[in-house]
Structure 1
Amino acid sequence: MSLLKFTLLTVVFIINHFTLINSSTSFVAKVSRDESTSLYTLLLSMKTPLQPTTLLLDLSGKYSWIDCSAGVYISSTHHYIPCNSQQCNSLTSLACSDDCFDQAGPSCHSSSCGLFPENPVINNTVLAQALVDTVGLSVTDGSSVTGKVGVVPNFVLSCSDTSLLRGLPDGVSGLAGLGRFNYSLPSQVYCSAGVYISSTHHYIPCNSHQCNSLTSLACSDDCFDQAGPGCHSSSCGLFPENPVINNTVLAQALVDTVGLSVTDGSSVTGKVGVVPNFVLSCSDTSLLRGLPDGVSGLAGLGRFNYSLPSQVSKVFNSPRVFALCLPSCPNTTEYSGAAFFNTRGPYNFASGVDLSSHLSYTPLIINPIGFTLITYFNYPSAEYFIGLTSIKVDGKQVDINPSLLTIDKNGYGGTILSTITPYTTLHTSIYRPFIQLFKNESMTRNLTISTNPVSPFEVCFNASGMHKMWFGPKVPVIDLVMHSEDVFWKVYGLNSMVKVESEYGEGLWCLGFVDGGDEARTSVVIGGKQMEDNMLQFDLENERLGFSSILEHKSSCIEFNFTDGYWSQPTCSDDCFDQAGPSCHSSSCGLFPENPVINNTVLAQALVDTVGLSVTDGSSVTGKVGVVPNFVLSCSDTSLLRGLPDGVSGLAGLGRFNYSLPSQVSKVFNSPRVFALCLPSCPNTTEYSGAAFFNTRGPYNFASGVDLSSHLSYTPLIINPIGFTLITYFNYPSAEYFIGLTSIKIDGKQVDINPSLLTIDNNGYGGTRLSTITPYTILQTSIYRPFIQLFINESMTHNLTISTNPVSPFEVCFNASGMHKTWFGPKVPVIDLVMHSEDVFWKVYGSNSMVKVEDEYGEGLWCLGFVDGGDEARTSVVIGGKQMEDNMLQFDLENERLGFSSILEHKSSCIEFNFTDGYWSQPSL
């Protein structure tokens, strides 16, 4: 962690210990669509050395499995999970591979944790071993891959034999389980001898803590085959499932390595994040039946501790968030969708729009009853359920029994998302009125219904008379209405219609919804076709699904940049007529830096240089320096310094922008986007400085010895979609920090405020923001008037004498001579700024509410430090610097929340951070 002193515009930086890949690194993996099976595959780097491995993508998969057949699974890092170990139990293992009678290897290891990996295509499973190895994920910046790889060590998956690959796409080696389980994407990869080759794999002992955590129901006590990834005695047993053919086998849990490409949200960076000790399940080749060609197993993304997202999150200590953008085009080297891990965004595709800022959200719902081929008692479903409440076709509501859309006590009903189901499946009593309404609405569009529909579809239209647009065939639009009428998933023709040919060679467009029958376990299963070209963010931290049609932004899921080095150049200053130097360089990037004090800007050049940051342990500076190379800032001439404090050389921008100081420090050190401010109430001297911390959520230790990070209250940070700057940047939200103030109280009595003023309207007006530029809190007139009146009324009960000579800009002042002083400042009515909940409030004591001044007659006064912002104020409440002083304010952009705590309550102040030891001026070079 690092730190630096500050005046008004110079700040303290705190930086976490440098690691190449950590919690702030975003990962991306290629997602492909297999044309022959309509299934989706995920490309990962697995084993050691890292090898490209294609897995079936299963959104509901508890853990991942891989083919461990002889000669296939080769890894130097894999190992096994012992039977009855804690990890084996956590895998919900139901078996133990007690004896392995084959050649020892990834799929044969005695006394290892047994799992039942599932093939969801053919609904089959086998008993296989849990395996631990390494997974690599490409790093992304949100727009493309960076060229780096993030490695997931100790990745848990399940081995299987080749039989479990039946029905999966060609080339698939297993299954990537993304379901709701701690070991989802313990990728069910088949582990037949010679198939899984890795120098890093190892096994999980039976009955170990890890085996138990895998919900292992068996133990591979003896391995009678050649020792290897699929055979290891006394290893943790799992049952990886093939969800295509609905089959499972008893297989061993395996531990190995996974690599993920690093992204910046726009492209891949060229780096790889490695996940060591990745837990998955081995299986034999039989479990691959029915999966796409080339698939090696299954990537489980479900709700489970060993799913792929869960293990990545645990290794990098990051939020449990992943996002999918399924491609609508068949798999080729050019056409891949994207899966993002470790990041809430950005998600930048070719349109240049960050889809993370265009998501609608609906709660994720947990089904308490899980349905798998092997029954795991008392475990909830690993599937992702959402609260669909109705379906509309061209705005008209389908007649549905509401009880079908809720989950009953037996786990039946409700709505799930499935990457295994190719087309949305509806319970018969929903399907019948749905297709009838769709046909009725189609008639109003003069669409010709075919008399020769193609199975499994019932409603098809002649393609010859069908109009096409960017959103696909021009057919009735379907709205899947979520928990609220104004939250709906819009299904355009590209997602609702499937192009086929009839038996007579006639081109048809068929409605891609099918009848699930009267006994359907789940009433609505949203299938892969309807999920394609939608950005879907699974935020398990906040239990919500974010969704947005990428089609609405004139893009598609195949347009993420997986080539290296993608970027665009901003507008350049074409000619420089001054002497060459930092502020004058021809054909360089031009910016408009702003002086917020005098509201002025100039055209200036972007500059890249180095920033040095003092390191702190949270209690003092350590004497070490963290260097931020390639720090981007803007040059300006001296004219832009007008109105700023003496000695200041420029402005440190801490706002909501990729090139703000916190953002750049976070990016360089791969750390959380968190910073904290403790503004001093004393004038600047060498002895009296406040502190700003970067890259850390704490500790924040001041002279009182109390760690303020453990005393923070939290309220959500709110994004104002409309930015107000001197130069207008279209489609960019505000860089300011807004919070959800709901009321103001004085000595417990509420100020009469129109609630609409405290929310942000469609034009970006209203709401509450924080500002270090505004010295005193500004209130819109209709808030200010009742506020000062109530303050005066409450002051009378304190026997305070109001001055008849207030000092501008203040309207309410009191004679200082009769004012009592406490540790919290002048003894005046206490102001509470009430946040999103009545029990979350920011307490403003006299030290923060009152300003010491003298009137024109030399009389000492204490004035209320709140001023009138006028009737036309853009922001209704601007909390100014005075009210922020001696408060610890933590801006946690990772979790979109503000933490706040008065340091005065702990008998300390912001000037009491220890800068005496090791503070640097010039680092040694």
Structure 2
Amino acid sequence: MFHLIQLIVMVLAFISHDHEAVATLWQPTLESYPPLIAPITKHTGAAQDLYSVEIMTDWVNGQYVHSDFLIDTDARLVWHECIVQLPISTEKCPIDTLCNTYVPSPPCNVENPVTGGCLQVKTSYDEFTVNLSNGRHILAGVHDASLIAGCAPSSALVSFPKNVTGVMALSRSPYAYPAQVTGIRKNILALCLPSTTSARGVLLFGESPFYLLPHSDVDVTSLLSYTPLYTHPESFGYFIVVNAIVIKKRSTGLPMNTKAKLSTIDPYTTLRTDIYNRVVQSFTKVTKQIPGAMPVPPFSLCFRTFTNGTKIGLKVPDINLSLEGGKNWTISTLNSIKQITKDVACLAFLDGGAKSEPAIVIGTFQFQDNFIVFDAENARFGFSSSLLPKKTSCSNFNFTQTSDMY
């Protein structure tokens, strides 16, 4: 049971063969507020791959106890498990006026991001404490604010990955975490999702340079391209405009102002059926030299990676999303092909249905080991494309453990 949510970003000392964690303390001034920072974990084996952020939830026997909260860039409210008896529904959540005020008052409707069902949470003010970073390593833990959060019955978490006990709302909602902490730092959210469960990624909130080993002198934000970031009247999430999908100079043109939702819950990019069919047709033509395999649900285009005991190199072309502003988001093989078994790999794009709205939803497989920035301050989305060709990854932030918390 949570008596108090203290959103303390608890980062364990990250130790590799090349470096050693060193504790560093730093007390910010009013003129210099570094970004908030948290480690990200990938979860597999549930209904879908999901990502969580590690936070502190309690103080027991002189030590902080941490928990994992699902990262959801569409959720309206931060919520967690507690002992409370409130309704759970499989229906879509209605618009709830209680969620549109700043006065905590139970109950409030929120959506379960895993099942899509509606549940009611009891809202209250909770104390939030966070860790700070200078972009290279952790600086200190400080009390941040009293924020509005909710609690829900434990039955709401049945479909969640093991040990995940809540939802971290990082959307445009007035009750999401960004809106409640932007008074002292800019509303800029950066995510770097790890591609494996054995390595940690990183979440940052605020404006700062950011460095990944071994390139300790290269600010990752300097590698970003930007495209305008949009809102949607029926969502708290983030959207961009995709003008075309280009595969080896074969362009799949899209209707003007086709919006793509950026989702941290959907595991793979989904395309409306008419768009999906044209993309698959183009991809099939440029990969006809690769032996095909029987489709493995939910994927429809699959390839053999072994023939007669010999491994086949999957040399597939990049998929380029042509974005507003003339920028291209390159999706390389690392983010377009999913290895299903030793013998089979599939194109990691899904058919969203003939009436899918929005027409495109970009999922987490395409985000893995990409540095992405939701810059609500300047209404723009930043993206790096895969960091792996640059000889680094999302797990290469130089985490160090603080020796004190305030």
Shorter-chain TM-score tier: 0.7 to 0.9
**Aligned runs of 1:853-868 on 2, under 5 Å?**
none
Give the Cα separation in 1 of the matches to 2:305 and 2:153.
Answer: 44
| Aligned pairs for 1:868-907 within 5 A | none
SS at match of 1:552: helix
Residue of structure 1 equivalent to 2:221: 356
Contact (CA 8 Å) 1:344, 1:537: kept in 2 or not? no
Which of 296, 301, 311 lines up with 1:459 in the alignment?
A: 301
- Following superposition, the deviation at residue 19 of structure 1 comes to 6.1
Q: Deviations over 1:716-766 (max 9, x none)?
A: xxxxxxxxxxxxxxxxxxxxxxxxxxxxxxxxxxxxxxxxxxxxxxxxxxx
Q: Give the distance between the partners of 2:209 and 2:263, measured in 1 at CA.
A: 23
- 1:340 aligned counterpart, secondary structure: strand
Distance 1:318 1:123, change over 3 A: farther
Distance 2:124 2:388 in 1: 40
Distance in structure 2 (CA, Å) of the matches to 1:302 and 1:25: 21
* Matches of 1:260 and 1:274, distance apart in 2: 6
Q: Which structure ranks higher in relative contact order (CA pairs < 8 Å, sequence separation ≥ 6)?
A: 2
Gaps of 5+ in 1: 1-17, 70-106, 109-113, 129-205, 220-234, 371-380, 407-413, 566-925
> How big is the shift at 1:26?
1.7
Match of 2:371 among 521, 535, 538: 535
Give the match for residue 250 of structure 2.
396
1:58 corresponds to 2:72: yes
CA gap 1:276/1:48 in 2 versus in 1, 3 angstroms: farther
Aligned to 1:323, which of 159, 173, 190?
190
Matched, 1:476 2:317: yes
Match of 2:49 among 20, 35, 38: 38
Is 2:357 aligned against 1:512? no
2:131 and 2:210 mapped to 1: Cα distance? 15
**Match 1:299 to one of 124, 143, 168:** 168
Contact preservation (8 Å) 2:318, 2:333? yes
Give the conservation status (yes or no) of the 8 Å contact 2:100–2:174.
no
Give the secondary-structure state (helix, strand or coil) at the position aligned to 1:318: coil
2:230 touches 2:379 (CA, 8 Å); kept in 1?
A: yes
Seen in structure 2, the aligned counterparts of structure 1 residues 47 and 279 have a Cα distance that, compared at 3 Å, is farther
- The answer on whether the counterparts of 1:425 and 1:514 sit within 8 Å (CA) in structure 2 is yes
1:346, CA displacement in angstroms? 2.3
**Residue in 1 aligned with 2:380?**
544
Aligned letter for 1:256?
D
- Which of 266, 273, 278 matches 1:421? 266
Instruction: Please state how far the C-alpha of 1:236 moved relative to its aligned partner.
Output: 3.5
Give how far 1:563 is off: 3.4
Q: Describe the SS at the equivalent of 2:232.
A: coil
> Residue 25 of structure 1 corresponds to which residue in structure 2?
34
Indicate the structure (1 or 2) with the bigger Cα radius of gyration.
Answer: 1
Distance 1:312 1:349, change over 3 A: farther
Q: Distance in 2 between matches of 1:303 and 1:531?
A: 20
- What is the deviation of 1:306? 2.1
1:21–1:474 distance in 2 versus 1, CA, 3 Å? farther
Give the direction of change, closer, same or farther, for the CA distance of 1:563–1:430 in structure 2 (3 Å limit): same
Match of residue 331 from structure 2: 491
**How many angstroms does 1:350 deviate by?**
3.3
Residue equivalent to 2:138: 268
Matched-pair contact (CA < 8 Å) for 2:41–2:53? yes
Size of the alignment, in residue pairs? 366
Distance 1:46 1:276, change over 3 A: farther
Q: Which runs of 5+ in 2 are unaligned?
A: 1-25
Residue 255 of structure 2 aligns with an amino acid whose one-letter code is P
User: Distance in 2 between the 1:41 and 1:297 partners?
Assistant: 9
The match for 2:128 is: 258
How far residue 395 of structure 1 moved from its aligned partner, in angstroms, is 2.5
1:346 aligns with 2:357: no
Residue 435 of structure 1 and its aligned partner are, at CA, apart by: 0.4
Q: Is 1:553–2:390 an aligned residue pair?
A: yes
Q: What are the residue-to-residue correspondences of 1:355-754 with 2, within 5 Å?
A: 355-368=220-233, 370=234, 381-398=235-252, 400-403=253-256, 405-406=257-258, 414-443=259-288, 446-450=289-293, 452-464=294-306, 473-485=314-326, 487-501=327-341, 507-549=343-385, 550-564=387-401
TM-score norm. by structure 2 comes to 0.83
